[in-house]
Amino acid sequence: MQGILRIESASKSFQAPEGGVIRALDNVSLTVAHNEFLTLLGPSGCGKTTLLRAVSGFEDLDGGEIYIDGQPVSDQPAHKRPVNTVFQRYALFPHLSVQRNVAYSLEVRGVAKAEIRQRVGSMLELVGLAGMGARKIGQLSGGQQQRVALARSLVARPKILLLDEPLSALDKNLRHKMQQELKTLQHELGISFIFVTHDQEEALVMSDRIAVLNGGNIQQLDAPEELYRRPANEFVARFIGESNLLDATVVSVAGTRCDVVLTDGTVIRDCPVNGLKRGDPAKVLIRPENLLADLGQSGSDERAGHEISGTVSESFFAGTDYRLVLSCQGLPPVRASLRAGPGTSHHTIGEQTSLFVPHDAVHLIPGNGVPA
Ligand SMILES: Nc1ncnc2c1ncn2[C@@H]1O[C@H](COP(=O)(O)OP(=O)(O)O)[C@@H](O)[C@H]1O
Ligand SMILES: [Mg+2]
């Protein structure tokens, strides 16, 4: 993929004020497609802002190269790059009107007045602020200020828009609304967005692809569903969604399927093999919502090898589902989220029960769980 942006082996270290060296970016490579909504997701301190700053030209790399539209940009200063950034603290000019805030970058470049008026007008319309151009920043709500920041970044027609946690200062309802608006806006504009968040749900609903970062490394870069269903390692499995991760060993392989044995001796049959061989250690990932309630046929032949049994140690009703925790000897507690519909009911604490593990509910992560 040629892409609008290509990052090749980017590395960046900082001298820690306390002494020692922080590897903020450790050999990061990544390509962003034209018109793609790509998210950088990871915990605080994993290198997201450093990567954006390197793309925008505010930070020099120690090693590696960045290409925008096929051209290396290391020697290009920030203001020459066809890139713009929206920050969490949007740093608008409080004493200037909405109109002037958005117009500012065009004025600095000496764009003709009539063109500025036209471009600012259509930008304000695009972000839903038509008619508010004369207001001062202090006369706007948080969401409206966020839109001004967007309009200000987009008016210069960047090829790539970088967004560094732009929604984290907003309350939940407004954040959900802005998520949808940003997504729609990106489609309409047809430019690439690189969006930074530490919120996995936000990343899932907004992105074409997500790069999960930890410790300056890309752990996995994939479409949201792929990341969720087939995480490459334990870090990704734990960071995105809820997970049961159980230690296991592969006991037999037949084609693309295999059987594994858990630490309590339970055998789970017919798992997708994921490149594993007999005797290999693995982590069994089962999402709580993929476990099904016991249908009262425990012990029947076709269910053998597809069940986990134990004692209910926690049980509560959460509206759309019943959540329960199963304590099983020799296993960590197993969490289940059972859809609350006809046929499901509350489990009592202390009750013995089995949870059914459907065929493709299992994903095997190679290795025995040294967290990445
Ligand atoms: N100017 C700097 N000086 C020293 N350390 C820095 C500097 N900028 C970032 N870091 C460190 O680099 C790491 C990555 O930071 P950052 O990219 O801001 O993470 P994120 O945006 O994912 O929270 C962190 O450990 C941070 O403390
Ligand atoms: Mg940051």
- Compute CA distances 371 → 5, 165, 211, 261, whole Å: 30, 26, 18, 21
Instruction: For residue 293, name the pLDDT band (cuts at 50, 70, 90).
Output: confident
Q: CATH 3.40.50.2300: does it fit domain 5-236?
A: no
* Euclidean distance between CA atoms 325 and 334, whole angstroms: 6
CA 200 – ligand 1 centroid, Å: 20
How many angstroms separate the alpha carbon of residue 45 from the centre of ligand 2?
7
Q: 218-272 pLDDT, tens per residue? A: 999 999 999 999 999 999 999 999 999 999 999 999 999 999 999 999 999 999 9
Looking from the CA of residue 50, the nearest atom of ligand 1 is 17
Alpha-carbon distances of 62 from 12, 186, 286, rounded to whole Å: 5, 32, 40
Range scoring the smallest mean pLDDT among 21-30, 55-64, 175-184, 243-252: 175-184
Q: For residue 288, which phi and psi values (nearest 5 degrees)? A: -55, -35
- Ligand 1 pocket, mutate which of 28, 46, 50, 214 (most atoms under 8 A from CB): 50
Contact partners, residue 129, CB within 8 Å, separation at least 6: 98, 144, 147, 148, 151
Which phi-psi region, left, alpha or beta, contains residue 37 (left: φ > 0; alpha: ψ -120 to 50)? beta
The model's confidence at residue 97, banded by pLDDT at 50, 70 and 90, is: very high
Contact 96, 107 (CB under 8 A): no
Pairing of strands 192-197, 37-41: parallel
- The alpha carbon of 40 is separated from its chain's Cα centroid by a whole number of angstroms, namely 6
Q: Give the model's pLDDT for residue 178.
A: 86
On the question of pLDDT at 300 being above 70, the answer is no
Domains in the chain: boundaries: 5-236, 242-366
* Residue 186 DSSP SS3: helix
Nearest protein Cα to ligand 1, atom 20: 45
Ligand nearest to the CA of 47: 1
Q: How many angstroms separate the alpha carbon of residue 50 from the centre of ligand 1?
A: 6
Centre of ligand 2 to C-alpha 48, Å, is 6
Measured in Å, residue 82 CA sits from the centre of ligand 2 at 21
- pLDDT, tens digit, for every residue of 124-137? 998 889 999 999 99
- Residue whose CB lies within 8 A of the most ligand 1 atoms, among 11, 25, 49, 219, for a mutation test: 49
Q: Containing H/E element for 23? A: strand 21-32
- CB-based contacts of 274, cutoff 8 Å, min separation 6: 230, 282, 363, 364, 365, 366
* Residue 306 near residue 356 (C-beta atoms within 8 A): yes
Contact 313, 327 (CB under 8 A): yes
313-367 residue pLDDT tens: 999 999 999 999 999 999 999 999 999 887 778 899 999 999 999 878 899 999 8
Q: Which atom of ligand 1 is nearest to the CA of 46?
A: 22
**pLDDT given for residue 304 in this prediction:** 73
Residue 47 Cα: closest atom of ligand 1: 17
Show the ligand 1 pocket: residues with CB < 6 angstroms. 14, 22, 24, 42, 44-50
Which residue's alpha carbon is at the smallest distance from atom 18 of ligand 1? Answer: 49
